[in-house]
Chain A
Amino acid sequence: MPYELLNQPERPEKMSYSTLFLLLPTERQLDDLIHGSRWAADGGVSRSLPLAELLVSPVLFSDVLKFSLVAVLVLLILGAFFTLATNRRHVETRRRSWASLLVFVGFFGVVAILGATSFGSILQSEVMSGYALLAHVTAAGAFTFLLVAVSAMFLPRYSQLEEAFRFEHRWWLARWSAWLLMLSSLIVAGTMFLSMLPVLDTNGLRQVLEVHRYAGLATVISAVLTAAAIVCTRFGWR
């Protein structure tokens, strides 16, 4: 065998392409995450997908989290300036019923609790445990059932609404942030239930947990944007 071949670094393990959107960590990467990154240290990083590396590192997730939260905050501030500066008045949207208001407030409240308990813990100590975990799990139950109610808010009600208020005529940010919120919420809740069933093994559960935390981040961000869009449309700024 040629010398070069003998000294080839170890062949990287086949990525689990079939499982989760190409980007999820492999079994080996998860092992490294848990048992220390000896494999990564000996040159494994360069042979893996960069985003997968990003996903397996809890340190990186907390960095992603910090960056995302700051970005959203900056975006909101800039958006507020832009909105007020352009001062384009629109017709104020019709107020929803008290029931829908209650559902939305409840849903956003639960999302806030879930975000605070999970991301707060991660930012503070990298792991979620104790009362934070307890609160998170409790709120997760409410989140699932509120999700049904929130999705019902999107039901087509052409007969009841004026043409101007039809969903597809709303401000683009209101529409697409709502869709993102629904999609990410479904993924968050889906991954939660999936992990409660005796279906996935430990690696599968860890992969699902990765999806769960990124979907959770997407949910929080989209919830913030949706709330901002609702405020803007309510007051007729957009």
Chain B
Amino acid sequence: MVRLSFPPSQGIDVVQKARRLTIIGLERALLLGVVLTSLLSSAYGQSRYATSDNLSGYVHWIELYDAANNRIAADMENPPPYSPATTCGRCHDFNTISHGWHFNSVDDTLHGRPGQPWIWSDPRTGTHLPLSYRDWDGTLDPDQLGISRWQMAAKFGGFLPGGGPGSTESLQQEVAPFNGSETIDRTHITGALPVDCMLCHHRPGSGYSPFVWTEQIEDQNFAFAPTAALGVGTVSGSTKRLKDDFDPAAEGAAKQLPQVQYEGERFRKDGKVFFDLIRTPENSSCYYCHSNISSNSVTGERWLHDDDVHLRAGFRCADCHRNGLEHHTVRGFEGEQLPAEASVASLSCQGCHVGDHSGQPLEMTGRMGAPRPQHKGLPPVHFEKMTCTACHSGPAVSPIAGRELNSIAHRLGTHVKRTGNELPGIVAPVIMPAAEFSGSSDEPPVTHQARYTPHRLMWPSYWGTIKDGTVTAMNPDQAYELVRKDLKVRREFTEELGEVKLSLSERTQLLGEDRARAKPEDWTAEEQKKIADAEEVARTSQVAERMGLALAAIEEAMPGTQSIYISGGQGFVRDQEGIKTIDAEELKNAADPYAWPLAHNVRPARQSLGATGCTECHSDQSLFFNAEIAPVGLLPNQQTTSIKSHVLQQADMERLGRWNQMFQGRSMFKVFGLLALAVAGLISLVMFSNHIGSLASRHR
């Protein structure tokens, strides 16, 4: 490969040009910068920026710059927050970096293998919608739902390294309002969601706090989040409290915006600040957004769980999930190709542990001493039918797939008491054929499709409408506006919708006047049952009534449609008696769960599926085919039907049953078969010797 780099003076010229252009207007300068960078980068395949190239790393004593590219001093009056784009972008190709995998979710061309969706949760309406801008079958496009890019940035930006839907380019995208309702967009107040390099590149223990980053995003202090998270200054105030019609340019408006107060002692005399950063992100940085924990971890059983074997062996996440300057982080599935068409075969399980031997750096097997698996006696057909992760990754299969919590969906990091049953209900592992790849950039070979792969899975719940037999999800905010009055739910849908309290007269009717006034804990078991039964009847009636009214409100607002609430694989529509349940089959794909492959934690070989023998899977009761998956329904008392994993696998259980019979008495078969073979071989040998001897004697 030809490597070219600019002499330092040439690089400075480009920067000076950009500086001069700031007087014309920041937007035009940025545009020129983008064009220049793109042209230069694409022409030479390398960044135009100088690099130290010393493996010891670079000690970052650097000056802080604000978004307008002005240097920040600690003693400034009303100092602006620092901008990673201008501060880090002085020496790093910020434009290229900010279009990598973590930032390009709104890009049309990059889809990749289906992954974890952004789950739009509104606990007030029982809404949990899997969203993605990528073409992942089963997710909904936020643009189609009339959810603005700004809303997405505000909702999920706390667990994003910035950019993405909140980038300047993305925020310029017009999102059509849903059914005439207004889209919520406060970009004019908050500005774009800045990319914060330090979210990933901070050294753990340096004082950088991703938790503060999230808090600032939740306060809609987009521009202030990097400063507050870095700890170089404190931020007071909240943009969230400003009204939608707030004009930041108006007289006196600046006082209402958040204020920064820099920590003077963090600045050296020459005005430089120490950034304690590292080139390769540490695991804790990845974990902030990518923690997946089983529900029992939050109820005191965390100590029972081991880490991923690779991490226990000293690996970092970024050793496999690595990237070049362009930050197209390798996801690590087989058949993955980066946008530049570079193969990263050796960064998947199979590529690293089995792989090939070509001389290409990213295709060479055995990286970092990866042992080659023996799999002695395991028929190779298993590798055609299953991914490595099917046996080695995720929680071990259990009779009922367990609940999981993850950073983004359950906002792990915020300090609250959890029960493990928080919504959205995500279950794992669900072993089923991998969802097919989408998009053209990384279409895998046919052999890599539809192999058994462990998944995480969730059932969407949302309000929608039916027209011509097709269910359309509603914008969650619009749904809230329409149903809130009738649902009478302030915070938590399931809990409040099913909350009933019998009046004194009702209790008197059931228990008599004396006992009705007694404290509940003083009631006898019989009395408690009477009350519970009566509450149950009242609850059913209340749910039917409120849901019926809420569904009617939607139908009134959207004439010509039938309203529906979908939850736990079922649909609920209005009828004369309140609400009626519609099964998933009648809803086409509208109530289907969304599943995405999981790959971690990788378990030790001796804890892998099949480690104890063939019958672990090849038996009638095997959990591989018979684990139960229970849909998570949100309506109070919703009766959902558990399904066996073989249903999702679309496995031929009759054939599997016969196949399983082959494994009964397999050990005896091996013994007798080998004996038979030995006898046959011996007889043949003796007979052949006789035959040869006889022929020889004839010739003599």
Contact = CB atoms under 8 A, between A and B. Distances in A.
A28 B670 contact: no
Interface in A145-169: 145, 147-148, 150-152, 154-156, 166-168
B676 A202 contact: no
B690 A156 contact: yes
Interface residues of A, number: 52
B357 A13 contact: yes
Interface stretch (B395-403, B469-477, B654-662): B654-662
B76 to A, nearest CB: 58
Nearest to B675: A148
Given A31-B354, A193-B677, A195-B379, A141 B683 contact: no
Nearest to A149: B680
Contact of A168 (B355, B679, B698): B698
B683 A154 contact: yes
A177 to B, nearest CB: 14
Interface in B126-167: none
A200 interface: yes
Interface string B353-390: 01111110001000000000111111111011000000
A179 B688 contact: yes
A155 B687 contact: yes
B673 A28 contact: no
Given A39-B357, A134-B659, A199 B376 contact: yes
B377 A198 contact: yes
A209 interface: yes
B372 to A, nearest CB: 8
A144 B374 contact: no
Nearest to B377: A198
Nearest to A201: B374
Given A10-B359, A168-B698, A154 B375 contact: no
A42 B377 contact: no
Contacts of A166: 694
A79 interface: no
Contacts of A199: 376-377
B6 interface: no
Interface in A48-99: none
Given A151-B684, A196-B670, A186 B677 contact: yes
Interface in A107-154: 127, 129-131, 134, 137-138, 141, 144-145, 147-148, 150-152, 154
Nearest to B382: A202
B648 interface: no
A202 B375 contact: yes
Contact of B356 (A35, A154, A197, A209): A35
A141 B677 CA distance: 11
B684 A144 contact: no
A38 B358 contact: yes
A32 B365 CA distance: 13
Contacts of A223: none
A196 B614 CA distance: 11
A134 B658 contact: yes
A36 interface: yes
B274 interface: no
Nearest to B363: A38
Contact of B687 (A154, A185, A209): A154
A182 interface: yes
Given A28-B357, A31-B356, A138-B662, A189 B677 contact: yes
B345 A35 contact: yes
Contacts of B379: 195, 205
Given A193-B674, A196-B377, A201-B376, A148 B679 contact: yes
Interface string A24-41: 000010011011101100
Contacts of B373: 201-202
A199 to B, nearest CB: 6
A186 B356 contact: no
A190 interface: yes
A20 B277 CA distance: 55
A143 to B, nearest CB: 10
A213 to B, nearest CB: 13
B23 interface: no
B655 A131 contact: yes
A84 B676 CA distance: 40
A186 B680 contact: yes
Which of B445, B677, B690, B698 neighbours the largest number of chain A CB atoms within 10 Å of its CB?
A: B677
Contacts of A152: 683
Contact of B358 (A42, A155, A196, A201): A42
Contacts of A35: 345, 350, 355-356
A206 interface: yes
Contacts of B374: 201-202
Interface in B651-700: 652, 655, 658-659, 662, 666, 669-670, 672-674, 676-677, 679-681, 683-684, 687-688, 690-691, 694-695, 698
Contacts of B358: 10, 38-39, 42
A228 B590 CA distance: 62
Which of B357, B652, B670 neighbours the largest number of chain A CB atoms within 10 Å of its CB?
A: B357
A151 B680 contact: yes
B683 A155 contact: yes
B680 A148 contact: yes
A64 B684 CA distance: 28
A201 B375 contact: yes
A168 B378 CA distance: 43
Given A137-B662, A186-B684, A193-B670, A147 B676 contact: yes
Given A32-B356, A38-B356, A131-B655, A195 B345 contact: no
B345 A182 contact: no
A194 to B, nearest CB: 9
A31 B357 contact: yes
Contacts of B672: 145
Contacts of B377: 195-200, 205
B659 to A, nearest CB: 6
Nearest to B365: A31
Nearest to B692: A168
A179 B359 CA distance: 47
Nearest to B676: A148
A232 to B, nearest CB: 20
Contacts of B359: 10
Nearest to B667: A196
Contacts of A179: 688, 691
A92 to B, nearest CB: 22
A34 B652 CA distance: 26
Nearest to A127: B384
Contact of B670 (A31, A32, A168, A197): A197
A71 to B, nearest CB: 26
A51 to B, nearest CB: 21
Contacts of B363: 38
A209 B677 contact: no
A17 B147 CA distance: 65
A42 B360 CA distance: 12
Nearest to B357: A28
Contacts of A175: 691
Contact of B684 (A182, A197, A198, A200): A182
B676 A144 contact: yes
A129 B385 CA distance: 10
Given A202-B373, A202-B383, A151 B356 contact: no
Across chains A and B, which 8 residue pairs bring their CB atoms closest together, nearest first? Answer: A198-B377, A151-B683, A151-B680, A201-B374, A198-B376, A154-B687, A168-B694, A147-B680
Given A144-B673, A202-B374, 7 more contacts: A39-B356, A167-B687, A182-B688, A183-B684, A193-B677, A196-B377, A201-B374
14 contacts: A10-B359, A35-B350, A42-B358, A141-B669, A151-B679, A152-B683, A167-B691, A167-B694, A182-B684, A189-B680, A190-B677, A196-B666, A198-B376, A201-B376
Interface of A: 10, 13, 28, 31-32, 34-36, 38-39, 42, 127, 129-131, 134, 137-138, 141, 144-145, 147-148, 150-152, 154-156, 166-168, 175, 179, 182-183, 185-186, 189-190, 193, 195-202, 205-206, 209
